Amino acid sequence: MHITMVGAGYVGLVSGACFSDFGHYVVCVDKDEKKIAALNKGEIPIHEPGLSDLVARNVAQGRLAFVTDLKGAVSRSEVVFIAVGTPSRRGDGHADLSHVYAAAREIAASLPESAVVVTKSTVPVGTGDEVERIIREEKKDAKFAVVSNPEFLREGAAIQDFKHPDRIVIGTEDAFAKEVMAEVYRPLHLNASPILYTSRRTAELTKYAANSFLATKITFINEIADLAEKVGANVQEVARGIGLDNRIGSKFLHAGPGFGGSCFPKDTLALIKTGQDHEAPLRIVETVVAVNDQRKRAMARKVANAFGGNIRGKTIAVLGITFKPNTDDMRDAPSIPLITALQDLGAAIRVFDPIGMEQAKKVFENVTFCRDAYDCARGSHAIVIVTEWEQFRALDLKKMATIMAAPVIVDLRNVYSPEDVTRNGFHYCGVGRPKPLAY
């Protein structure tokens, strides 16, 4: 099939590359001429394991192309995906749909007489209705359908998620569109990936409900971690104890500094706004957002508590600044409010991240950027592990102790055993474990 992917950002690029690997002919369109020029040179603008090789292979085999000409691409396509950004709208928190609607208008001008338009972007309930209205104004007699097909990709594991999905949600009640979408995803039938056909509005809500529920699990275990510290319990054992219940499951029950990234913060907020607009307030999700926002900055107090509450004049080494491992994404990363709060408390900051350093330089001021974890730790009074990169799981603690000004580790991801750390002469502070004595 011939597919156009409008938007060559994270979702569009990963989806387009994977569709082309299925054997479809895919053209990714983006208005950013520099991005398209870079992609045509083989330069991938995001860090996603395996994506560079996937793109190169399919470009070489003639199934994947990158252009700025939307009109030419759409006119030759059977399926057109809208995969543009829907960030939180400044001022009110609603999803900003301006790019989606602009794409719909441009698509309408060039859409073939028989085609399917698919919203891959995360959009509030009812967006597909408006996209259909916009296109219908231009193509009154055309045979087309607008479908909702939300993505469920985890940054750092997106290719695996796309090719081996838990489910594929397709929101349409149009028979023609169902046939087309079944053909688009036919290669996944071999993996027995379940396709769930729903109404368009149901599919749109499913995406927001999924992300908000996962965000709720994270926030719940973080609050349990706070209680565990107070009562002398171990949150990791609590998480295992409840996660073994099949009704609950073990995923997203890892206590830490709070959720961030490009999806959960904006999607929970957008769902809250949708509930308010329809007089169906989502009190649980509202609380999740409030608790998570407070938690990120509160982690600075945990660092300060390791020094009796005062870190003025101390040097803090922050390891990991992206919102999760295997990505360079800094959007709403917990490291941002944490570092800001540490600076407000009078600490000097050194940082290192395996992938996110270039992005970090656009975000942070008055910090020292280091070449590796040991360079970051040198002369520091504490190491704070914020992102659980594999490179940080087996640090040479004996070496660290000799180069630091004070042997303190604040492990916000619980990647280390307290016993192992203290055995090497460190004062250890984790999340959801009994509080250590002040250093």
The two three-digit tokens of residue 170, written as one number:
């397709």
CA torsion, ordered 428, 432, 436, 438, to nearest 10 deg = 90
Residue 163, SS3 per DSSP: helix
Give per-residue pLDDT as tens, 241-281. 999 999 999 999 999 999 999 899 999 999 999 999 999 99
pLDDT-derived band at 435, boundaries 50, 70, 90: low
Strands 25-29, 367-369: parallel, antiparallel or unpaired by DSSP?
Answer: unpaired
Please report the domains of the chain, with CATH numbers, ordered by start residue: 2-198 (3.40.50.720), 234-439 (3.40.50.720)
Residue 221, SS3 per DSSP: helix
Average pLDDT over every residue of 282-298:
96
Give per-residue pLDDT as tens, 17-40. 999 999 999 999 999 999 999 999
Query: What are the residues whose beta carbons fall under 8 Å from the beta carbon of 289, sequence distance 6 or more?
Result: 265, 268, 269, 272
Give per-residue pLDDT as tens, 112-148. 888 999 999 999 999 999 999 999 998 888 889 999 9
pLDDT-derived band at 438, boundaries 50, 70, 90: very low
pLDDT value at 318 more than 50: yes
Give per-residue pLDDT as tens, 330-347. 999 999 999 999 999 999
Average pLDDT over every residue of 295-306:
94
Give per-residue pLDDT as tens, 196-212. 999 999 999 999 999 99
pLDDT value at 439 more than 70: no
Amino acid at 75: S
Q: Answer whether 0.85 is exceeded by the pTM.
A: yes
Helix, strand, coil share of the chain (percent; to 5):
45, 15, 40
Start-end of H helices in 232-282: 235-243, 264-277
The active-site residue, picked from 263, 370, 376, 429, is 263
Residue 263 known to be catalytic = yes
pLDDT-derived band at 193, boundaries 50, 70, 90: confident
Distance separating alpha carbons of residues 95 and 10, to the nearest angstrom: 17
Q: What is the mean pLDDT of the chain?
A: 95
- Residues above pLDDT 90, as percent of the chain: 93
Average pLDDT over every residue of 221-249:
97
Amino acid at 169: V
The two three-digit tokens of residue 330, written as one number:
């800094």
